[in-house]
Structure 1
Amino acid sequence: MNLISASDLRSQLASVRLLDARPDSTDYAAGHLPGALHADLNRQLSTASDPGHDPARGGRHPLPSLPRFAAQVGAWGIGPATRIVLYDANGGGNAAARLWWMLRALGHEEVRVLDGGLPKALGAGMPLTSDLAPVTTLGPYPVARWQFPTVDAEEVETLRKDPGRKLLDVRSQERWRGESEPFDPVAGHIPGSLNLPWNENLGPDGCFKSPEALRALYGPLLDGTPPERLAVHCGSGVTACHTLLALDVAGLPGAALYVGSWSEWCRSDRDRDPRP
């Protein structure tokens, strides 16, 4: 399983490495679950804060290089045998699912996302602290390659025209239809893409729907297409990972992540060879 309940986490706190994936470091500083380290979306889970970052080349949240992320994982005190639990305050959509994808893409097996996130932890009686957790730094995580599939803009241009493949955009329906765009300079969607917003993965309680319900949600969308022939994107490659996690929970693993997502697509080569 890739999820853990708040009650199960409460009984296992002493034996796991907790990572707080809320984007705002001030939220972490104000109060986090005991033992949690902060995983910064812009500095550690992407290169968004790097000097010269250009969203037209990789989107608003490009992946860090493999050696850089492997070093960061070791700096968190994580080795191949470490049990990891990730959380945020938005049902996994802030960045916990992105971090889940990155750790699983390293080949790490023992990683879970807290189902329902911080609200469920607080509801289960877990306290908050502002104390910094001790950590014994390790060397870089041993890994040779990313082990989960990704696609780039060039492959998306090909696959969107292929009737045997599917492209899924998990942004809101309003953004997909081009009625609003709060983050990127152009509204709309990649022609040929399907739309199923990532928050449809969650039930009214803020937790993931059951595997059966998720299969019922994604079965009609796939319509016989194997998950390995699906690519998933969002605005910047963050909430797309929530849907990749949901597909895994549903027993439908293997879809690829388009990391650059709409933030790259709508910017790239706009003046020379604009993408549709």
Structure 2
Amino acid sequence: MSPLIEVSDLQQITSPNLVIVDASGPANAKYQFEDKHIPGAIFVDLNADLSEINDPSKGGRHPLPSSEKFGRTLSQLGITPNSHVVIYDHLGGGNAAARMWWMLKAQGHQKVQVLNGGFQVWENAGLTLISGQSKPRSTYNTYPTTDWQLAVIDLEDVIQVSKNKSQTIVDVREGYRYNGESEPIDMKAGHIPNATNIFFKDNLGEDGTFKSPDELKLMYKSITQKLENNEVIVHCGSGVTACHSILALAHAGLPLPKLYVGSWSEWSRNDLPVETNN
């Protein structure tokens, strides 16, 4: 199954197993959802449902919840292993549709896709939107979970890689943050030593949908061999938008990199070396 689904294809699905999820992540996301959302969608909260918020120096601002907690969340959302889950947000998948896609794939879920272009493409097509709250379909069985099956890497291993350059570290944040010009969220400006910058929004075309697989393969050509050798680490500010780039690589049919969930929010709080391009 393709990791992306087009609006026109979503409209054709009549299966009772379809679950549409709004995983928009800004602070006002719940109010945004209640103002207008795709019919049938249920709301997922990045902080409460897709993270285990604690001390950001130990895991970053959006560490993964335990797989058991995620399983309970899925059950509360009415999601079963047979569900066809389609996720969208208001940032082309970057906050936090791709994060939930990654989490479901990491639990071995088979039918999960991100709506290509997200909420904006649906709205711009003049399709129906509704307001108000939504109630998930109840499920009586807890979603069966295992350890995360997609590759992750922790702070200590990233520290070693930053020193010996044995793997490629890709920072997907915007260039001014990577360069160290300023930092709007975390403790310090700059980037992990020896990291390279590939901005996650460059995965998208001008219309807000993902570039074609061929365009993405060209864009990621410089790290393709490393990907094939399982020698790429992807991070962002807090392990959310990095999943957008992992989704793009999946769309391109390329091997998936390791996710450094703690990302810059963890690194910048641990008195570690910082590089800038100023």
Asked if 2 retains the 8 angstrom alpha-carbon contact of 1:230 and 1:256, the reply is: yes
Asked if 2 retains the 8 angstrom alpha-carbon contact of 1:233 and 1:258, the reply is: yes
Asked if 2 retains the 8 angstrom alpha-carbon contact of 1:236 and 1:261, the reply is: yes
Deviations 1:74-132 (A, max 9, x none): 11111111101000011001100011001111110100000000111123332111242
> 1:1-276 counterparts in 2 under 5 A?
1-12=2-13, 15=16, 16-23=18-25, 24-48=29-53, 53-131=54-132, 132-222=134-224, 224=226, 226=228, 228-268=230-270, 270=271, 274-276=272-274
The residue type paired with residue 235 of structure 2 is H
Rate the CA distance shift 1:133–1:58 in 2: closer, same or farther, 3 A: same
TM-superposed CA distance for 1:160, in Å, is 2.4
TM-superposed CA distance for 1:234, in Å, is 0.3
TM-superposed CA distance for 1:262, in Å, is 0.3
Rate the CA distance shift 1:208–1:11 in 2: closer, same or farther, 3 A: same
Q: Which runs of 5+ in 2 are unaligned?
A: none
TM-superposed CA distance for 1:174, in Å, is 0.5
Deviations 1:17-63 (A, max 9, x none): 00001121111111111111101001101123xxxx21101101111
Asked if 2 retains the 8 angstrom alpha-carbon contact of 1:201 and 1:243, the reply is: yes
Structure 1 range deviating more: 25-34 or 13-22:
13-22
Q: How high is the TM-score relative to the length of structure 2?
A: 0.92
Structure 1 range deviating more: 39-48 or 120-129:
120-129
| CA distance, structure 2, for counterparts of residue 99 and residue 228 of structure 1 | 22
TM-superposed CA distance for 1:253, in Å, is 2.4
The residue type paired with residue 73 of structure 1 is L
Indicate the percent of aligned positions where both proteins have the same amino acid: 46
Q: Which runs of 5+ in 1 are unaligned?
A: none
Aligned residues: 268
The DSSP-based 3-state class of the residue aligned with 1:9 is helix
The DSSP-based 3-state class of the residue aligned with 1:151 is coil
| CA distance, structure 2, for counterparts of residue 232 and residue 201 of structure 1 | 14
Asked if 2 retains the 8 angstrom alpha-carbon contact of 1:170 and 1:232, the reply is: yes
The residue type paired with residue 112 of structure 1 is Q
Asked if 2 retains the 8 angstrom alpha-carbon contact of 1:35 and 1:134, the reply is: no
Rate the CA distance shift 1:134–1:172 in 2: closer, same or farther, 3 A: closer
Asked if 2 retains the 8 angstrom alpha-carbon contact of 1:98 and 1:239, the reply is: yes
Rate the CA distance shift 1:212–1:61 in 2: closer, same or farther, 3 A: same
| CA distance, structure 2, for counterparts of residue 150 and residue 255 of structure 1 | 8
The residue type paired with residue 230 of structure 1 is V
Rate the CA distance shift 1:134–1:258 in 2: closer, same or farther, 3 A: closer
Asked if 2 retains the 8 angstrom alpha-carbon contact of 1:7 and 1:124, the reply is: no
Asked if 1 retains the 8 angstrom alpha-carbon contact of 2:152 and 2:260, the reply is: yes
Give the superposed CA RMSD. Answer: 1.5
| CA distance, structure 1, for counterparts of residue 273 and residue 52 of structure 2 | 24
| CA distance, structure 1, for counterparts of residue 36 and residue 77 of structure 2 | 19
Deviations 1:187-221 (A, max 9, x none): 00000101000000000010000000000000124
Structure 1 range deviating more: 3-12 or 169-178:
3-12
The DSSP-based 3-state class of the residue aligned with 2:181 is coil
TM-superposed CA distance for 1:225, in Å, is 5.0
